[in-house]
């Protein structure tokens, strides 16, 4: 028991240190990095949030969803519409006038973030009720269809969304404090969720539906719940993204957006929280770095024109390679643990209190 306590204290201290390091980095970064790098650092956090929420749906609960771009779109639009001022809105809607009730609707940024998540969660719940009765690939197509329907609605419902022109001049509320604050909150949420018994239940639903039902689990309700929570994350990420880029339009939320999230989750490891964070760092930086191949390069008198599309060619080849040669991604279903850095003294059991009579754990050392 003492051993267990020590380990807990140690891990708590290490967690605090890691958090302090993150805070130190966030204090240092704005003064020392240029805007482009800061933007990438922001994107890493936002993509991690999005990856985690997709991973909850797909990796942890086993629902193959291709609708995440749709939830992002809902989040981005809801948040932006709440933040933009009435003057901005009037000047932006040129094709058709904005819906009157929407014109003066206004909320502070944080409220708009929560509203964005809730709106996405509501739509997630709404779509989950019919489509989660389907299994496997049908679910993928149905959710993909849902995201497309949503995009078509955004293009056509001009009084609400300004149609294909999109929204511009969204205040850049997303700074690194905001994005990493949200990421830490989402991480704590995910870790607590997946380490609790409910996390076991989600994995059970993923691994064997029939056995899960026999164990008294209402698998349909559980799926709907996980899907709804995941949609909330999608909306939150979309809202942060909109406030980072400051302009949104329906084209941003095409299927390609979902594919890059899928890539993050698959490369990191389906079902691993750590994996999604690592995946986000890798994929986000790689996608930015690959922009080189699309930009024209001039070396001396030699002018190499950029190749549009090449970035995505390399990206998709990588996705195929990962799935063929390393299906489980970087982490598989494993999670990061501080124990990695410490030699195992005793065989630890993850139970809070072992019977006093049980001394085997201590003997084994």
Nearer to other proteins, 140 or 169 (CB): 140
Site string for other proteins, 139-178 (x = CB under 8 A): -xxx-xxx-xx--xx-xx----------------------
Q: For residues 133 and 149, what is the distance between their CA atoms, to the nearest angstrom?
A: 19
Nearer to other proteins, 42 or 284 (CB): 284
Of these, 198, 289, 336, 342, which contacts other proteins (CB under 8 A)?
198
Asked if residue 200 binds other proteins (CB under 8 A), the reply is yes
Q: Is 213 exposed, middle or buried (0-12, 13-18, 19+ CB in 10 A)?
A: middle
Nearer to other proteins, 169 or 199 (CB): 199
Asked if residue 210 binds other proteins (CB under 8 A), the reply is yes
User: What are the structure tokens assigned to 47, written together?
Assistant: 């993509």
Asked if residue 56 binds other proteins (CB under 8 A), the reply is no
Q: For residues 32 and 28, what is the distance between their CA atoms, to the nearest angstrom?
A: 6
Q: What one-character DSSP code corresponds to residue 329?
A: T
**Residue 230, CA distances (Å) to 57, 106, 121, 134 in order:** 6, 26, 8, 18
What residues between 320 and 339 interact with other proteins by CB under 8 A?
A: 320, 323-324, 327, 333
Q: What one-character DSSP code corresponds to residue 330?
A: T
What residues between 243 and 282 interact with other proteins by CB under 8 A?
A: 255-256, 259, 262, 266
Nearer to other proteins, 18 or 317 (CB): 317
Question: At closest approach, how far in Å is the CB of 324 from other proteins?
Answer: 5
DSSP β-bridge partners for residue 132: none
Of these, 30, 181, 305, 308, which contacts other proteins (CB under 8 A)?
308
Q: Alpha-carbon dihedral of residues 288, 290, 294, 295, nearest 10 degrees?
A: 60
Q: ∠139-140-143 over CA atoms, to 5°?
A: 80
Question: At closest approach, how far in Å is the CB of 302 from other proteins?
Answer: 20
Asked if residue 305 binds other proteins (CB under 8 A), the reply is no
Nearer to other proteins, 17 or 207 (CB): 207
Question: Site size for other proteins, by CB under 8 A?
Answer: 73
What residues between 63 and 82 interact with other proteins by CB under 8 A?
A: 64
Nearer to other proteins, 37 or 327 (CB): 327
Asked if residue 227 binds other proteins (CB under 8 A), the reply is no
Helix ranges restricted to H, the chain? 2-32, 35-55, 68-83, 86-92, 100-103, 109-131, 136-156, 158-161, 176-195, 197-207, 209-214, 219-245, 255-268, 273-289, 291-294, 310-325, 360-363
Asked if residue 5 binds other proteins (CB under 8 A), the reply is no
Residue 286's φ and ψ, nearest 5 degrees, are -65, -45
Asked if residue 353 binds other proteins (CB under 8 A), the reply is yes
Of these, 216, 296, 343, 365, which contacts other proteins (CB under 8 A)?
216
What residues between 80 and 109 interact with other proteins by CB under 8 A?
A: none
Q: Alpha-carbon dihedral of residues 44, 48, 50, 51, nearest 10 degrees?
A: 120
User: What are the structure tokens assigned to 63, written together?
Assistant: 């629902």
Q: CB of 319 within 8 A of CB of 83?
A: no
Question: At closest approach, how far in Å is the CB of 264 from other proteins?
Answer: 12
Handedness of CA 92, 96, 102, 103 (dihedral sign): positive
Asked if residue 312 binds other proteins (CB under 8 A), the reply is yes
Cβ neighbour number for residue 30 with a 10 Å cutoff: 13
Of these, 97, 108, 130, 181, which contacts other proteins (CB under 8 A)?
130
User: What are the structure tokens assigned to 356, written together?
Assistant: 């006093």
Question: At closest approach, how far in Å is the CB of 173 from other proteins?
Answer: 26
Question: At closest approach, how far in Å is the CB of 208 from other proteins?
Answer: 5
Asked if residue 214 binds other proteins (CB under 8 A), the reply is yes
Asked if residue 362 binds other proteins (CB under 8 A), the reply is no
């Amino acid at each position: 028991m003492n051993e267990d306590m020590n380990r807990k204290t140690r891990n708590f201290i290490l967690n605090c240190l890691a958090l302090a390091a993150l805070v130190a980095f966030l204090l240092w970064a704005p003064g020392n990095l240029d805007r482009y790098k800061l933007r990438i650092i922001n994107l890493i956090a936002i993509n991690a949030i999005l990856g985690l929420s997709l991973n909850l749906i797909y990796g942890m609960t086993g629902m193959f969803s291709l609708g995440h771009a749709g939830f992002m779109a809902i989040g981005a639009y809801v948040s932006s519409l709440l933040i933009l001022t009435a003057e901005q809105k009037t000047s932006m809607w040129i094709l058709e006038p904005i819906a009157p009730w929407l014109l003066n609707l206004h909320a502070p940024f944080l409220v708009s973030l929560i509203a964005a998540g809730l709106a996405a969660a509501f739509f997630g719940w709404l779509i989950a009720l019919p489509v989660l009765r389907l299994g496997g690939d049908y679910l993928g197509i149905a959710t993909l269809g849902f995201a497309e329907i949503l995009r078509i609605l955004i293009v056509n419902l001009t009084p609400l969304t300004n149609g294909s022109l999109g929204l511009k001049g969204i205040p850049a509320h997303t700074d690194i404090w905001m994005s990493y604050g949200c990421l830490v909150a989402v991480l704590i949420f995910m870790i607590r969720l997946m380490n609790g018994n409910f996390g076991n239940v989600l994995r059970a639903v993923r691994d064997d539906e029939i056995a899960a039902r026999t164990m008294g689990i209402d698998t349909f309700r559980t799926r709907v719940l996980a899907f709804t929570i995941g949609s909330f994350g999608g909306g939150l990420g979309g809202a942060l993204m909109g406030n980072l880029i400051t302009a949104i339009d329906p084209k941003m939320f095409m299927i390609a957006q979902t594919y890059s999230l899928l890539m993050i989750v698959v490369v990191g490891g389906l079902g691993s929280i750590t994996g999604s964070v690592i995946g986000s760092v890798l994929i986000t930086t790689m996608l930015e770095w690959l922009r080189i191949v699309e930009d024209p390069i001039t070396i001396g008198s030699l002018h190499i024109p950029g190749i549009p599309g090449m970035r995505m060619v390399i990206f998709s080849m990588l996705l195929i390679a990962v799935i063929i040669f390393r299906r489980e991604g970087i982490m598989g279903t494993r999670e990061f643990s501080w124990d990695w850095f410490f030699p195992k003294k005793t065989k630890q059991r993850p139970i809070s209190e072992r019977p006093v009579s049980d001394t085997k754990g201590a003997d084994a050392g």
